[in-house]
Structure 1
Amino acid sequence: MSELIELQARRYAPDQNDTNAQPSGQPAGKDEEIETRSIEVSGVIENQTQTAEDGTSLEPRPDAPAFDAYPDGGLAAWLQIFYCFCFFFTTLGGIYAWGIFQDALHAAHVAPTSTLAFIGSSQGVLEGLLAIPISALVVRFGNRNVGIVGAILSGLGPILAGFCSRSVPGLLITEGLVFGFGQALCFFCAATLPSSYFLRKRNLATGLVYAGSGIGGAVISVIANGLIKSVGIPWAFRTLGLMFMAINLPCAILLKPRPDLSPVPQTADKGKRHRYVNLTLLKDIRFVLVLFGCAVALPPFFLPIFATSIGLSSGAASGLLAGFNLASACGRIGWGFMADRWLGSLNSLYLCLAMNAISTLVIWPIAGDVGPLALFAVVNGFCAGGFFSLIPGVVSSTFTDIDLPVAFSMIISFFLGAPIGGYLLQAFGGPDTGYQAYRPAIFYAGGLSALSALMIFGVRLKQGGNWRRKV
């Protein structure tokens, strides 16, 4: 289980050598021996109240719902996971498939790689910039209403992009801003929803939702490549936009979080001020390390165009990207299962970031042929897969469920994208000069991933305890 599962036994008894200890047989006072046992999972405690010899009982925490308050399964819960999966399939999957359009637009001499990379990164930038405002919208209007708007915009963006596919400003507005804002709305409607239905299986459920992005990236990459070849770039944009809207709208309408336990409150209570930023979290060095550790981790954005630069066809490049995204989907589910079953969320996050950095720094720089590049796509995809899906579990296990909505939106606010890799590529010759020009961008991404792993390792050091303990 990814969240911390810890059996705590606390005994408070007078020292036998203490002359002020109560004589045997006398009524026990407030310092007598009291044993409480609690199981903490993701900040939620199930208390087994025991009574002292004087009959005093210990009441459970009023803000700690019991285990059975979470369905942890059932048709209604798994259907919600499926709807959220579809959101991620189309929106984040669409972002991950941008590399196919980037490669096609570069080949059509629409713009240089650095400019096209900026359009692609702007899709994810809005997710970070608008994290806190969108969380406020979800509180005010509910997941369903916000999801409906997001579904419309995430489909409308690509449809409009089909009418301005040779205009950089037009693509920036339609694909970058309209689609980017729509996918951000969908993301925050679905990102933490599993936490309101699952506790013991929380990382697995979250991993299944986030796996939608990897599977979507793989499927949409193949579809986009086929559409570009058969009907051209404009109609490829329009077709995908219509597909996105057809999938997302029904899912948004059927979205139904559980208001009593949902990490994001569904309505704003009158007279009560909800906090969307908790600056006191910044006083905790663990949160600061998680915040910046997650902010600097980077996926391999240039995989498709890197593949074509070493002589592979566009079909092979899309196949590699599809393999990366499928491996990522397997990693999201696999890391979630391992976190729930054996490692814990924090240990799992550190391991997947460390392995992601190693694969980027060791395998990718020597991947000048299809074999090593395919190996990198599978290994790096699997290791990177658990990154996003483990964050809710890490926040819950390191802090509490109560901290999840605010902490999650604050962490996502720092995912501001990194077009620096594109500029490094252009500075060292551009994609047409061969795969050697990619080395600075590769080492840049690998170095940031290593730094991210070190920061999460620092959080694990602060947690302390036996290293075999699930954290």
Structure 2
Amino acid sequence: MSEESKQNNDDALPQPIKEVEPAPDGGLKAWLTILGSFLSIFVQFGLVNSFGVFQVYYETMFPHLSPSTISWVGGVQQFILFGGGLFIGRLFDAYGAHVLLIPGSILLVLGLMLTSICTEFYQVMLAHGVLFGIGTSLTFHPSSAVPGQWFHHRRAFAMSFAIAGSGLGGTLWPVALKQMFDTIGFAWALRVVGFISLVLLVTANMLIRTRLPRKTPAPLSTTFHPFKEAQYTLLALCAAFTFLGLFTPFFYSTTRAESMSSATITGYTVSLINAGSTIGRLLGGIGDKVGRFNVLVVSAVLTGTLLLAFWIPAHTLPAILAFCVMYGFVAGVYIAVVSTCVAQISHVSAIGHRIGLLWALVGFVTLAGPPINGALIAQYPGEQGYRLAGAFSGAVIILGAASGLAARLRSHRSLLAVV
């Protein structure tokens, strides 16, 4: 290896300020932190996963706008949620969780309250897309990274349990939102959700504890150094391609189901996806036993396959409902293990930065996902548009799985190895 290559590799590796004690892998503070992260992610990611319900409502609220245009609200929301990790991860590593969680909680609740009084589309974009998106980003990244400080051998289980909050939230929020939209109206529904979110986020802030000491933030010039590592880069590309297509059913399963039937259950497809996802995310902890990268690759392949083999030919409501449960399960497993794979190839003092950088790349890529699929659905009316959206999404997810396999092979060439 050349001296220049050695230097690049040294620069790419996170440099801890000082040695820290090994993660305790348990204890009261550790488990309370996991519970706090669960509650935080239940609120913010659960509501993000519920955007399909908002998509349907906004299409009736703004009938002159196309589904593709309206989906930009969710696209911007996701872009800020993930893209904020470019800076938030570094701040978490340096200053801990609460310097981010507290302002994030305030902005998230404020975004919901302001959305409740919106009457124009640009107002919805600013309140629900931008302000709410900033709040979710500030709460999501520290909540998903801090469990990695407390666990090592059981890291996949701990981080999967925390991220499972998004699946449970995505199961319950759509049902509650739809019921409240029909009974007390859109405005008061969001106010009620805002107050519930406030209580849960205050509780989360009280439970979460940062284990590592504060340190001086790494220079901005080192922000992109992890991309000097081939394995990290391949893993980041795996996440980017997979998430480009992964959220398609979250956005459009409800509208597709409603085009097939007027049954009440069509409004709960997102809840079915997230119910399956909750189970999948909880089972992501199996990565501690069989290999986190192994679980990542297999779940990505199954996610893409379900879109290509089940979403495309589905033409009845029961088929769509069955797809939602199965898809949610395998997508949930994938979501649960992405961050644990990053932590596995990172020093504990740089987990926040490296996870945040990966999510930032995901944010830039997924900004295009909902509008592309919305444009396909608008351009090709009826089932053809939904099938084309499924074909596009399934193809890019399979591409992500291939990149994930390449990252996994960087650790061990044997396909039977626990990696």
Q: What range is the shorter-chain TM-score in?
A: 0.7 to 0.9
Is 1:77 matched up with 2:30?
Answer: yes
Tell me by how many angstroms 1:395 deviates.
1.9
Q: Quote the Cα distance in structure 1 between the aligned partners of 2:37 and 2:240.
A: 23
Q: Which residue of 2 aligns with 1:221?
A: 174
TM-score by length of 2: 0.88
Q: Deviations over 1:384-439 (max 9, x none)?
A: 112232123212334543552332121111122244444444455469x4222211
Which residue of structure 1 aligns with residue 324 of structure 2? 377
- Would you say the 8 A contact 1:149–1:185 is kept in 2? yes
- Deviation track 1:187-235 (CA, whole Å, cap 9, x = no partner) reads 1121111111111211111011100001001100000000110012222
**Is the partner of 1:414 in helix, strand or coil?**
helix
Q: Residue in 1 aligned with 2:209?
A: 256
Shift of residue 72, structure 1, vs aligned partner: 1.7
Structure 2 equivalent of residue 287 of structure 1: 232
Q: Does 1:440 align with 2:388?
A: yes
1:238 Cα deviation after fit:
1.8
Aligned to 1:304, the other structure's residue is in SS state: helix
Supply the distance in 2 between the matched residues of 1:428 and 1:385 (Cα, whole angstroms).
25
Counterpart residue number, 2:355: 408
- Say which of 267, 273, 283 aligns to 1:318: 267
In the alignment, does 2:135 pair up with 1:186?
A: no
> Is the 1:360–1:446 Cα contact (8 Å) retained in structure 2?
yes
Match of 1:147 among 73, 96, 101: 101
State the alpha-carbon separation in 1 of the partners of residues 373 and 106 from structure 2: 35
Q: Which has the higher contact order (CA 8 A, sep 6+)?
A: 2
Between Structure 1 and Structure 2, how many residues are aligned?
A: 397
Q: 2:415 maps to which residue? A: 467
Change (3 A) 1:92 1:435: same
Pair 280,181 (structure 1): closer, same or farther in 2 beyond 3 Å: closer
* C-alpha distance in 2 between matches for 1:245 and 1:442: 36
| Partner Cα distance (1:221, 1:330) in 2 | 17
Asked if the contact 2:175/2:268 (under 8 Å) is kept, the reply is yes
Within 1, Cα distance between the matches of 2:123 and 2:279?
35
Using a 3 Å threshold, how does the CA distance of structure 1 residues 101 and 364 change in structure 2: closer, same or farther?
Answer: same
Task: Tell me which amino acid in the other structure corresponds to 2:108.
Answer: S
CA distance in 1, matches of 2:333, 2:154: 15
Match of 1:397 in 2: 344
Q: Secondary structure at the match of 1:457?
A: helix
Deviation at 1:335, TM superposition (A): 2.0
Q: State the match for 2:284 in structure 1.
A: 335
Relative to structure 1, the CA distance from residue 332 to residue 380 in structure 2 (aligned partners, 3 Å threshold; closer, same or farther) is: same
Aligned to 2:3: none
Show the counterpart of 2:253: 303
Alpha carbons of structure 1 residues 465 and 458: separation in structure 2 relative to 1, 3 Å: closer
Query: Superposition RMSD on alpha carbons, in Å?
Result: 2.4
Q: Distance in 2 between matches of 1:331 and 1:273?
A: 35
Residues 349, 183 of structure 1: alpha-carbon distance in 2 compared, 3 angstrom cutoff: same
Residue type of the partner of 1:224? L
Is the 2:111–2:128 Cα contact (8 Å) retained in structure 1? Answer: yes
**Identity over the aligned pairs, expressed in percent?**
23
Query: Hey, what's the Cα distance between the residues in 2 that align with 1:149 and 1:185?
Result: 7
Provide the residue aligned with 1:245 in structure 2: 198
Query: How far, CA to CA, are the matches of 1:226 and 1:77 in structure 2?
Result: 36
Specify which of 55, 60, 69 is matched with residue 102 of structure 1. 55
**Aligned equivalent of 1:169:** 122
Closer, same or farther in 2 for the Cα pair 1:428/1:159, shift >3 Å?
closer
After TM superposition, give the deviation of residue 236 of structure 1 in Å. Answer: 1.7
Tell me, yes or no, if structure 1 residue 132 matches structure 2 residue 79: no
- The 2-side partners of 1:91 and 1:174 are apart by 15
| Alignment-derived partner of residue 210 in structure 1 | 163
The Cα of 1:172 is off from its aligned counterpart by 0.5
Task: Please state which structure has a larger fraction of its residues in helix.
Answer: 2
**Distance in 2 between residues matched to 1:161 and 1:146, nearest whole Å:** 22
Provide TM-score, normalisation by structure 1. 0.79
Q: 1:428 to 1:387 in 2, by over 3 A?
A: closer
CA contact (8 A) 1:276 1:406 kept: no
Q: For the structure 1 residues 71 and 401, does the alpha-carbon distance in structure 2 shift closer, same or farther, using more than 3 Å as the test?
A: closer
Q: Which moved more, 1:376-385 or 1:216-225?
A: 376-385
Provide, for residues 143-176 of structure 1, a one-character-per-residue CA deviation record: whole Å limited to 9, x for no partner: 1232111111111111111101x31100011111
The structure 1 residue matched to 2:291, chosen from 336, 344, 353, is: 344
Residue of structure 2 equivalent to 1:25: none
1:362 to 309, 319, 333: 309
- Aligned residues of 2:376 and 2:386 also touching (Cα < 8 A): no
Deviation at 1:117, TM superposition (A): 0.8
8 Å Cα contact 1:356/1:380 also seen in 2: yes
1:291 CA displacement: 1.3
Query: 1:427 & 1:384 partners in 2: Cα distance?
Result: 22
* Matched residue type, 2:276: A
- Residue identity in the other structure for 1:121: G
Distance verdict in 2 for CA 1:117–1:84, change over 3 Å: same
Q: Which has the larger radius of gyration?
A: 1
CA distance in 1, matches of 2:375, 2:154: 45
Contact between 1:211 and 1:329, CA under 8 Å: does it hold in 2? yes
The answer to whether the 8 Å contact 1:114/1:419 transfers is no
Farther off after superposition, 396-405 or 369-378: 396-405
